[in-house]
Amino acid sequence: MDKIKKPELLIPAGSPELLKIAVEYGADAVYLGDETMSLRAKAQNFSIQEIREGVEYAHSRGAKVYVAANIFAHNSDLKAAMKLFLLLKSIGPDALIISDPGVFSLASKLAPEIPVHISTQANNTNYATYDFWYQLGVRRVVAARELTLEEITQIKENIPSDMEIEAFVHGAMCISYSGRCLISSFLTGRDANRGACTHPCRWSYSLVEESRPGEYMPVEEDERGTYLYHSRDLCMIDHLDDIVRAGVDSVKVEGRMKNALYVATVTRAYRRAIDELYADPAVYKKNIPEYLDEVRRCSNRTFCTGFYYGRPGSEGQVYDSTSTHTEYVYLGTLHEEYGRVFFIQKNKFSVGDRIEVIRPHETISAKVLSLTGEDGERMESCPHASQKLYIELDCECRELDIMRMPEKK
């Protein structure tokens, strides 16, 4: 990929632990939300002190941190926004992600030293919009998910050379235009545009005829359609060469509500794919099946290429069945404590099971030798979710190793 700039790999961090995992597994940058201004209220999110510690951790390892403040603010949100920006001045994140013009104005006045990236929520669909933000001092805009690669190429050709384009390449797709959804507000009273989305597009629905209350008829899905809200997941790991040729400067993964297995798996897969693409495009092409096999090992819906190659038609229909595919289950993340290795249990497994331990550059097959509770009691399995357990494996254990095993059919 001579003469084409290597893109930044931007990974979601839904918690302080996930920030560390993203950085250690290969992220160039992470994005996170605070407890007030983020569009992911259900994510664990970060306190101000956790943001400070996260920025220090990432910067010490050469990675950047972007703080999402991308809600569409009501009057009652503005004081919280002002307080946040004043606090962030002393922390020094690498950028703020903003969509609301009023919030942008406040950030520019209160924390002018922190760059602003314009969120995909702002409907950035043409080069005139990019130029508008450039004139206001912005140097990165996140492309609307409805854009094709051809449109992104046209934008790149018509904006200043120091204006960057960030684009989503992997993760869940919102069925609403640039993420602007009212379904959650109507059904639950929780505003998706203020960070409280309940994701009703993922719910199962039945049809009820007015004169037959209590009779629930299924909303059938077949090869001809009737797909209400549920979209496939975006995956462009096998098209990264097209992405970078279009002029994308930062490739972004969705998923601030995903678990550690997702973050580690997707991060290291895209890290490897990007590095191999730039080292030798022929090697990248040859290894595409391996990249795809790896990203399928965490929970996902059927993959698609979104709108990058045009409006999805019958062959690339965005909407899919409501089910997710899970080839591997997340067991826990390993940590060290006073010379012992522990984890917080996420799914059940037993002494004697063979599991996989994944690291930034390798996957190891391991046997579970013992499990011990906090009270010192030996256990044969770990049936209780979120239980802290000490573990012995027949391999060396390292901080932030991720344990997984194939889904039992």
Q: What is the pLDDT of residues 257-278, one digit of tens each?
A: 889 999 999 999 999 999 999 9
* Band of pLDDT at residue 157, cut at 50, 70 and 90: very high
Contact between 303 and 317 under an 8 Å Cβ cutoff? The reply is no
Instruction: Quote the pTM value.
Output: 0.88
Share of the chain above pLDDT 90, in %: 68
- Percent over 70 (pLDDT), the chain: 84
pLDDT, tens digit, 9 for 90 and up, residues 193-217: 666 676 676 666 677 777 888 777 6
Alpha carbon 294 to its chain's center: 16
List, for residues 287-303, the tens digit of each pLDDT value: 999 999 999 998 777 88
How confident is the model at residue 133, as a pLDDT? Answer: 98
pLDDT of residue 195: 60
How is residue 13 written in tokens? 């961090």
The CATH label, of 3.20.20.70, 3.40.190.10, 3.40.640.10, 3.40.1110.10, for the domain at 8-177+230-304 is 3.20.20.70
Residue 86: the pLDDT is: 97
Using 50, 70 and 90 to split pLDDT, how confident is the model at 182? low
Q: Which CATH superfamily, name and number, covers 328-406?
A: Translation factors (2.40.30.10)
Helix 101-110 and helix 78-89, axial crossing angle in degrees, nearest 10: 40
Same fold across 8-177+230-304 and 328-406: no
Checking if the pLDDT of 320 tops 70, the result is no
pLDDT, residue 315, reads 43
Question: Which sequence spans correspond to the domains of the chain?
Answer: 8-177+230-304, 328-406
Residue for token pair 């390449």: 169
